[in-house]
C-alpha cells in the first residue's frame, strides 16, 4: 500500500511539473488541483517538497508557483549530451575509416562506462559494445582514462569495492591501479593490453568541454595483431587529434586563440 501511494505521489509530482507552460509559467495550488484533479492538500504537499529540492519556487507577490533552477540543471545535462553526440559523430566516423578499427564514444556513469556511440572500421572485430551498454571501467582503456580524470574520492569507491580480474593482465592491485591512473593523467591517454578480453587491445583519449573538464572519451579497439604495441604510437596520434577536434567543437581552447 505504501509503495502504491509513493508511486501515486511521484506521478502527481510529474503531472504538476508538466503542467507549467510558456503561456502559463505560474500556477497556484487551487488552479493545479482543479486542472489535474488532485486534492488541494496533496498539491500543496507536493509543491513544498518540489520547492525544497529547487524544482519549483513560490512567487510571494502572486502566491503562485513556477519552475525552479533544478529543472534547468537537468535540461542542461540533456542538452550537453545531445551536443556531445552531435559534434562527436562526424569525427568518430572519420577516425574509424582512417584507422579501420572500431571506435567508441564513451562516458562514465556510476563507476561504469557507457557506450554512447559505436563506429566500425574495415578490420573491426565482433564486440558486444552497442550504444547504451554498460561495461567495467577498471579494465578498459576508456574507463581507466575517465577514472584518471575523475575525483579521487569517487574512484576510491571503485577500488574499495574490489577490482575484478578478467584476464591475467587485469590490474587488481589497488596500489598499482592508482599508479596506473596517475600515469594516464600525466600522459593524456590510456591503453588496455588484453585487460578485459584476451586478444583485444584498446587506446583512449579524453574529450573536454568548454571549461576544460573531461566529459567523455573516444577510443579505438582492435585485435592484438591490428592494434599491437608497435602500432600504438601512430594510432594514438590519430586518436588524440580526434579528441582535440571534438573538444574544440565543444568550445575547449577557443579563448586561447584570441
pLDDT for 50-77, tens place per residue?
999 999 999 999 999 999 888 876 765 6
pLDDT cut 90: percent of the chain above it: 72
Q: Are 145 and 205 in contact (CB under 8 A)?
A: yes
Torsion from C-alpha of 126, 123, 84, 233, nearest 10 degrees: 120
pLDDT band, very low/low/confident/very high, at 152 (cuts 50, 70, 90): very high
Spatial separation of the C-alpha atoms in residues 127 and 113, rounded to whole Å: 15
For all residues of the chain together, what is the average pLDDT? Answer: 90
Write the pLDDT tens digit of every residue in 176-185: 999 999 999 9
Dihedral of CA atoms 136, 138, 141, 147 in degrees, nearest 10, equals 110
Which candidate, 225, 166, 175, places its Cα nearest to that of 197? 166
| pLDDT value for 255 | 45
At 105-128, the pLDDT tens digits run 999 988 999 998 999 989 888 887
What is the fold, at CATH topology level, of the domain defined by 78-257?
Answer: Beta-Lactamase (3.30.450)
Q: Residue 113 and residue 36: Cα distance in Å, rounded?
A: 40
Using pLDDT thresholds of 50, 70 and 90, give the confidence band for residue 79.
low
Residue 258 has pLDDT above 50, yes or no: no
Which helix (H) or strand (E) segment holds residue 246: the answer is helix 232-249
The answer to whether residue 31 scores a pLDDT higher than 90 is yes
Sign of CA dihedral 193, 121, 129, 144: positive
∠ CA 50-14-48, nearest 5°, is 20
For the cut 80, the answer to whether the pLDDT of residue 144 exceeds it is yes
Segment 227-242 shows an average pLDDT of 90
Distance, CA of 202 to CA of 189 (rounded, Å): 11
Q: Supply the angle between the helices 152-161 and 174-187 in degrees, to the nearest 10.
A: 150
Count the neighbouring beta carbons within 10 Å of the beta carbon of residue 93: 14
Domain residue ranges of the chain, discontinuous segments joined by +: 2-67, 78-257
| Structure confidence at residue 251 as a pLDDT band (50, 70, 90) | confident
Q: Grid coordinates 552497442 are at which residue? A: 130
Number of helices (H) and strands (E) in the chain: give both, helices first.
Answer: 8, 8
Q: How far apart (Å, rounded) are the C-alpha atoms in residues 6 and 183? A: 47
Mean pLDDT of 163-185: 98
pLDDT at residue 254 is higher than 90:
no
Q: pTM of this prediction? A: 0.70
Q: Which CATH architecture has domain 2-67?
A: Orthogonal Bundle (1.10)
Amino acid at each position: 500500500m505504501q509503495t502504491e501511494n509513493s508511486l501515486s505521489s511521484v506521478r502527481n509530482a510529474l503531472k504538476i511539473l508538466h503542467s507549467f507552460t510558456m503561456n502559463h509559467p505560474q500556477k497556484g495550488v487551487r488552479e493545479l488541483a482543479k486542472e489535474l484533479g488532485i486534492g488541494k492538500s496533496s498539491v500543496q504537499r507536493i509543491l513544498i517538497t518540489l520547492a525544497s529540492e529547487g524544482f519549483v519556487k513560490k512567487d510571494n507577490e502572486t502566491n503562485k508557483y513556477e519552475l525552479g533552477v533544478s529543472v534547468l540543471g537537468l535540461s542542461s545535462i540533456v542538452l550537453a549530451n545531445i551536443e556531445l553526440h552531435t559534434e562527436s559523430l562526424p569525427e568518430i566516423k572519420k577516425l574509424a575509416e582512417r584507422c579501420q578499427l572500431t571506435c567508441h564514444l564513451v562516458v562514465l556513469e556510476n563507476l561504469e562506462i557507457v557506450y554512447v556511440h559505436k563506429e566500425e572500421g574495415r578490420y573491426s572485430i565482433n564486440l558486444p559494445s552497442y550504444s547504451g551498454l554498460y561495461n567495467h571501467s577498471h579494465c578498459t582503456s576508456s574507463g581507466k582514462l575517465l577514472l584518471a580524470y575523475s575525483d579521487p574520492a569517487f574512484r576510491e569507491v571503485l577500488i574499495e569495492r574490489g577490482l575484478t580480474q578478467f584476464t591475467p593482465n587485469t590490474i587488481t592491485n589497488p596500489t598499482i591501479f592508482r599508479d596506473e591512473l596517475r600515469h594516464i593523467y600525466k600522459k593524456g591517454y590510456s591503453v588496455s593490453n588484453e585487460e578485459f578480453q584476451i586478444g583485444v587491445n584498446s587506446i583512449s583519449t579524453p574529450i573536454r568541454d568548454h571549461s576544460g573538464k573531461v566529459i567523455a572519451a573516444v577510443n579505438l579497439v582492435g585485435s592484438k595483431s591490428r592494434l599491437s604495441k608497435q602500432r600504438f604510437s601512430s594510432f594514438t596520434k590519430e586518436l588524440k587529434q580526434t579528441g582535440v577536434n571534438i573538444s574544440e567543437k565543444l568550445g575547449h581552447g577557443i579563448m586561447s586563440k584570441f
